[in-house]
Chain A
Amino acid sequence: MRNSKISKIRWSFIIFFIPVFLWLFLLIVLPHLELLRMSFLGKSGFTFKNYSAFFTEPIYWLTFVRTALYSILVTFIVLIIALPISFFITKVVNLRIQGVLSVLLLVPFWVSELIRVYGWMILLRESGVLNHFLVGIGLFKQPTEMLYNDITMIMGLVYTSMLFMIIPIIGVMESLDDALIEAAYDLGAKKMAIWREIIIPYSMPGIMSGSIIVFMLVLGSYLTPKLMGGKNSLWFTEQIYNQIITYFNWNQGAAFGFLLLALSSVIIWVALKLTKQDFRKVVK
């Protein structure tokens, strides 16, 4: 009797677990193990050369640091824009407009990232809409190239990742009781103090999960930096692409891939420690 009951529970567990396990193991763990193995292989077997090349060639680690710093910067810019927008959508407008605004946020994501980036290029390039307009009203004497610099690239990254910050923050802010804000106000708090002491601490789980998603998306993004950043705005993913596709050096590319993975893990860990957030809570 007892045995049959236990085996029954195990079967149902296994049935549900197998797809998850296969997905994780075959598509994520296995390729990564192979990449890890390759990252330690050279022409003559086992070597640390692929990793040491990263530290000896300044272009590699400079791109790496640049990518990390810009990703953090983009995450901050996205957060600073997303907070008031989320607050406006959840607390200021009425319920009907709230739905309309949420749909408006989603609409751009029905178009592929490539098309969206091309859209920006049509607007910003030398013969683009914005230049025509500015020259037309006489603000510019002649068209200027607005694409292919760091500022444009950051703007593009902020634009493409905004939604992934707003949605988790809206999720938490919706459960924020208006009375808490009124109570803080009643107890003498000014607007900035209400943001600092009530709204941001309350929204912290949403802010952190949004920041992790945005940070990882930006760190690993390829299309936007490649198309909008131009020659001088190298992104670390482009280095990986170059190694694997251009030079057929899979071993070097794999090593870079693992360095990027280590980087994102360390930065997220530090961010969670600094804000005293529990990873389990943030993921939930």
Chain B
Amino acid sequence: MKIALSVKDISKKFGNFTAVDNISFDVEDGKFFSILGPSGCGKTTLLRMIAGFLQPTTGTVEIGGKNMLGIEANKRPVNLIFQNLALFPMMNVYNNIAFGLRRRGEKGKSVEEKVNSMLGRVGLPDYGLKKINQLSGGQKQRVAIARSLVLEPSALLLDEPLGALDAKLREHMKIELKKLQVEVGTTFVYITHDQSEAMVMSDYVAVMNAGHFEQLDTPQHLYANPSSAFVAQFVGKNNKFIAKQRKDEKGNFFAETVDGQRFKIGRPIDLKKDDNFIELYVRPEAVIINPKIGKENLNILNVTVKAILFDGANSKLLVVPEKSEQELIVSLPQNKQFDYIKARDKIKIGWDPEAVVCFNKTDGKIYEEL
């Protein structure tokens, strides 16, 4: 497979602050690659180094196999879609899209053909003469993408372009963007802090934190097998327990929480510290409500329902285990099976020890909850 974009050992320092810390990755041609991270993790800095607006302190960027060192942003075969799209308000749609072609010295018929065919491809065939302020949010989005794609870049860089849209349109544009990317076949490098955007659209997702990549994987693998506590918390919802990892007389591992509950764990970890403290993560959908007796291997907890958080297919139960203060979130399937559950009910929940992931306990907060 051809590599469209290759980043090697790239770092960026601003004074004493390291914004991007020794990152390397390759993006295959035609893939949708996302960089997912909380605000301030350095993802915009990384993208701007690829686009050529910032020079890396160390490391190299290769686009289409060519080293981009010392090549200015206006000469690089990549284009950036800005967060606010940055369409030129004094030009109409046609001139916006023709801007880059004209800068290359193209004139007349070839510009006209390319612009019109691009307008057709983004589904705005008769919009050439419209002013920018006459377009809706979604249409502006498509014009911004058309303006870059008409230059046939090796890769399209997108800096949270859906951030400014309202929730409904954002859901719609997610699917549109993915469809558009598949259709045109251009490599997309997309940065976002919204994990759902990254998961829905991407072939590969890199989770970024404090200047480095925590994990680079497919969305499915990232969700099922987070490689660090940060990824487990940042990608999708998770229930977290702090516990001590112990071994019983038969040599089976178990975890003992600070509240004194004991859980079997399927995949014990190598302890890094002497205090044996670990973090356990259980996905809300891995938890079974009132499991049938006989499934011996489940971890069972007696809990009180604190609230029912109804949200259609995303409905959840907020529960508190006996003799504990910690709130847990449990998925509540909307198939009428659990309609009998009311607030303040006492129920049992259980989960398969194999569905739990554990990590060594990290000190302090790893990121600010959004």
- Residues of A participating in the B interface, judged by any CB pair closer than 8 Å: 177, 179-180, 182-190, 193, 197-198, 201-202, 204
Contacts and interface: CB of A to CB of B under 8 A. Distances in A.
B79 A187 contact: yes
A183 B89 CA distance: 12
Given A177-B86, A180-B86, A187 B51 contact: no
Contacts of B88: 180, 183-184, 197-198
Q: Which of B82, B84, B104, B148 has the most CB of A within 10 A?
A: B82
B93 interface: no
A182 B84 CA distance: 12
Given A180-B88, A201-B90, A186 B80 contact: yes
Q: Which of A182, A186, A188, A201 has the most CB of B within 10 A?
A: A186
Contact of B103 (A179, A180, A193, A202): A193
B99 A197 contact: yes
B237 to A, nearest CB: 34
Q: Which secondary structure dominates chain B's binding surface?
A: loop
B177 interface: no
A47 B52 CA distance: 72
A182 B53 contact: yes
A260 to B, nearest CB: 34
Contact of A182 (B75, B82, B147): B82
Interface in B41-95: 51-53, 72-75, 79-80, 82-84, 86-91
A234 B151 CA distance: 57
B103 A188 contact: yes
B100 interface: yes
Contact of A185 (B73, B84, B89, B148): B73
A182 B85 CA distance: 11
A184 B99 contact: yes
Given A177-B84, A201-B90, A202-B90, A186 B79 contact: yes
A188 B80 contact: no
Contacts of A183: 80, 82, 86-88
Contacts of A177: 84, 86
Given A182-B53, A201-B90, A202-B90, A187 B84 contact: no
B86 A189 contact: no
Contacts of B83: 179
B154 to A, nearest CB: 14
B102 to A, nearest CB: 9
A187 B90 contact: no
Given A179-B84, A183-B82, A188 B74 contact: yes
Given A182-B53, A202-B90, A188 B100 contact: yes
A92 to B, nearest CB: 16
Contacts of B90: 198, 201-202, 204
Interface in B98-113: 99-100, 103-104
Given A193-B103, A197-B99, A185 B86 contact: no
A204 B90 CA distance: 10
24 contacts: A179-B82, A180-B88, A182-B73, A182-B80, A182-B86, A183-B82, A183-B88, A185-B72, A185-B74, A186-B52, A186-B53, A186-B80, A187-B79, A187-B99, A187-B100, A187-B103, A188-B74, A189-B103, A190-B74, A190-B103, A197-B99, A198-B90, A202-B89, A204-B90
Nearest to A191: B74
Nearest to A181: B86
Given A186-B51, A187-B99, 18 more contacts: A177-B84, A179-B82, A183-B82, A183-B86, A183-B88, A184-B88, A185-B73, A186-B52, A186-B53, A187-B74, A187-B79, A187-B100, A187-B147, A188-B104, A190-B74, A197-B88, A198-B88, A202-B89
Nearest to A194: B74
A188 B86 contact: no
A99 B157 CA distance: 36
A216 B24 CA distance: 61
A184 to B, nearest CB: 7
A184 B73 CA distance: 10
